[in-house]
Amino acid sequence: MADHNTLAGVVRAYNELDNPEVKYKPKLLIGSRLVFMDGTPDILVYPRDREAYGRLCQLLTYGKREAEKGECHLKLDDLLQYSEGQLLVLLLPHRFETAKAGCSGSIATRPRRRRVARREPLVPRR
């Protein structure tokens, strides 16, 4: 499950698992499909642990903080600051141009920076 720039569907998904009409209960892989403003292709982000889930929440909060209601303004550099512990899946468009995405080198070799202090992440109750 991966909503665009949000984790809002997580609660609804877990509530649906309690529905007696659902015969087969899937294991939910919670994540978000990040849609960027700088030309970077969409990236699926799946946290690998509780701390990574907290960082994903912080990233989404950061992107929504200065944006209009219902929008999320993210750039690739924002993701890189919160990428520790995340499983990233790049979704390539039909044509991808690195120059438009602002990528000058390998994503894996770029240094990570943090904007916010670590706090106890919020995790939805099951």
Q: Please tell me the pTM assigned to this model.
A: 0.69
The pLDDT of residue 54 is 96
The pLDDT tens digits along the chain (126 residues) read 678 899 988 888 888 888 889 888 888 889 999 999 998 999 999 999 999 999 999 999 999 998 999 899 999 999 999 999 999 999 887 665 666 655 555 555 555 555 555 555 555 555
The pLDDT of residue 102 is 59
For 73, the token pair is 């303004």
For 76, the token pair is 């690739």
